[in-house]
Amino acid sequence: MRESARPGPLPRALHLPPPGRPRWVCPPSAALDLAYLGWGRRRFGRHPIPRSRHPGWVYFLVRSGRPVLRMESRAIRTRPGHILIVGPDCASGWTDRPSGVCDVLTWVWRTPPRCAECTPPETAWLALAGDEKLRRALLLAHALCRREVEQPSALTRQALEHARLHMDLAIARARRPRAAAPEPALRMELALRWMAQNPAVLNPVGALCDYLQVSPATLHRLFCAHLGESPATCHARLRMDRARGLLGDPRATVKAVAYALGYRHPNDFSRAFKRHTGRNPGEFLPAGLSSGTMKTSGGVR
């Protein structure tokens, strides 16, 4: 949800909560991208934040309560989990019921967000209802920011940039979620990719179980459900397909192909190839080559 607002005569200011309430303001000597950090309970009904433009891009995460963010053209009654990003020239301020108590995390960054998906115009705002995953990401980012500003070091600038990028990516992905493939289909895709990249592995089932972090029984069910064959059979088929491709190389020999595919003895490869294809591997060599000679010393690519 976005709304544009023309910059009016309202000043650009950083209105602080009452003394004693949790907050951090960047010292002028630090010159960090993070200008302000706020957290903890607020009583905006008793101590409202007047509308003003901001010294940067303001991020809010409402953790509890239902405070009202007053824009120039409308008022937004928030709720727990509400996330807002307000441009520096979009004037806003907070209010609430006289007895209202809320908990709002606040960041003020001097520079724009790092992702287009979470960057409203400078005169506009963006709001979304975050799910639990997004809220956890922002809570973690806020905790990282607090730790860095409370105990600054030579790496604080880089750490704050990391936290900023982490929260922007989380918001951007929440606004444009990727269509995730079902887990079995994804595992099958990863398994076939692994087999194609590792034709020379002698114990493919054990190695693939370790790669996917599944049991042999789970792997067997996965392959039977998707391909109607066991993982060992599938690997052998892909291995022989790879062998046919290698044997077609003008520089190939049966011995070189056997070693390239992980066989210790060329005869073992020849027997396996004939079982799979019904033909000897030498029959697939380019005309004029024998199984034991090489056209050049380069071997199989």
Residue in 167, 94, 93 with CA at minimum distance from that of residue 130: 167
SS (H, E, C) 187-240: HHHHHHHHHHHCCCCCCHHHHHHHHHCCCHHHHHHHHHHHHCCCHHHHHHHHHH
Which tokens sit at 230? 């066991």
What's the CA gap between 168 and 163, in Å, rounded? 9
For residue 261, give Cα distances in angstroms to 121, 156, 167, 301. Answer: 57, 50, 46, 12
Q: What is the pTM of this model?
A: 0.64
Using a 10 angstrom Cβ sphere, with 0-12 exposed, 13-18 middle and 19 or more buried, the burial of residue 192 is: middle
- 26 alpha-carbon distance from chain centroid: 30
Cβ neighbours of 1 (radius 10 Å) = 10
Residue 213, token pair as written in the block: 């972090």
The per-residue pLDDT for 181 is 53
Q: What's the pLDDT score for residue 179?
A: 59
Whole-Å CA distances, 250 to 20, 133, 219, 259 = 80, 55, 37, 17
Secondary structure of 68-120 as H, E, C letters: EEEECCCEEECCCCEEEEECCCCCEEEECCCCCCEEEEEEEECCCCCCHHHCC
Mapped onto helix, strand or coil, the DSSP state of residue 133 is helix
- Main-chain dihedrals φ then ψ at residue 84, nearest 5 degrees: -130, 140
pLDDT at 3: 45
Instruction: List, in order of start, the domains of the chain with CATH numbers.
Output: 2-175 (2.60.120.280), 183-284 (1.10.10.60)
CA distance 268 to 142: 61
Is the separation of the CB atoms in 209 and 165 below 8 Å?
no
* Residue 178 pLDDT: 64
As given in the structure block, the two tokens for residue 161 are 């940039």
pLDDT of res. 224? 94
* C-alpha–C-alpha distance, residues 244 and 17, integer Å: 74
Give pLDDT, residue 39.
Answer: 96
Give mean pLDDT in consecutive 10-residue pieces for the chain, a chain of 301 residues. Answer: 53 90 93 96 95 96 96 92 96 95 97 94 93 94 96 95 96 79 83 93 91 93 94 92 89 90 90 89 72 40 37
The pLDDT value recorded for residue 234 is: 94
Please state, in angstroms and rounded to a whole number, the distance separating the CA atoms of residues 283 and 285. Answer: 6
